[in-house]
Structure 1
């Protein structure tokens, strides 16, 4: 039996930085920024706790001009995308990071 696999992420949060833009070979641009999300939960004593997460986000194609015009630190966004893990070498050590690649986005 084959299991259907899925790589899907939905987040609603705030941009914690202005986007940076990088021009790739062939003139394509990508936008990168960080997004924070907040979780609220009750601890064992019944106290409300907040947990903040920061996410690396990358946008391609039609989302780059939108972010150039409307993206700025503090902007609320709903994003839908997929996780991408990237690897690189730094002084002989293999490093990695995971980011969210946007498929769809709504500026809130």
Structure 2
């Protein structure tokens, strides 16, 4: 079995397509980088970035559609698959893909929201105000309930 585990950054927003009875497939590229280093003799070896084609099916594809965006850092686990096709010029092209069966978003949601939507700070502020107002009103109702418990009747 060709099990693959990758940690990298999404190269572009996922391309999600639907077929047969609400089934989905998502495809996107993932960049992994091996950091450069310096050899004992002083030779500098530069960073090396590889690009991987990621394919996700079903519910995982739907999750990717909602939460994964260009630049997000992901952990992807899956199996290597190889296929080929003949292009318009008759040249045989080979493609290596990772058919993912597990994924974890490593980008903090607050950073992803801010990067993806500059207006999200206003939306988040409004949501926080609404949560604080709800908490204040629920605290007020708890306080009035506690006062009612001390009534003699």
Is the partner of 1:62 in helix, strand or coil?
helix
CA distance in 1, matches of 2:81, 2:45: 32
Specify the SS of the correspondent of 2:70.
Answer: coil
Match of 1:3 in 2: none
- Structure with bigger helix share is 2
TM-score by length of 2: 0.61
Match 1:82 to one of 57, 79, 91: 79
Unaligned runs of 5+ in 2: 107-153
Quick check: 1:106 aligned with 2:104? Answer: yes
d(CA) in 2 for partners of 1:46 and 1:62? 47
Q: Could you tell me how far 1:24 is from its partner in structure 2?
A: 3.4
Matching of residue 73 in structure 1 with residue 70 in structure 2: yes
The question of whether the paired residues in 1 share the 8 Å contact of 2:26 and 2:61 is answered with yes
Helix, strand or coil at the partner of 1:67: helix
More strand per residue: 1
Confirm or deny that 1:20 pairs with 2:15: yes
Q: What TM-score comes out, normalization by structure 1 length?
A: 0.85
Aligned residues: 103
Distance (Å, rounded) in 2 between the aligned partners of 1:40 and 1:48: 9
Unpaired runs of at least 5, structure 1: 1-5
Rg larger in 1 or in 2? Answer: 2
1:102 offset after TM fit, Å? 0.3
Alignment RMSD: 1.7
How far is 1:94 from its partner? 1.9
**In structure 2, distance between residues paired with 1:48 and 1:88:** 35
The alpha carbon displacement at 1:16 in A equals 0.8
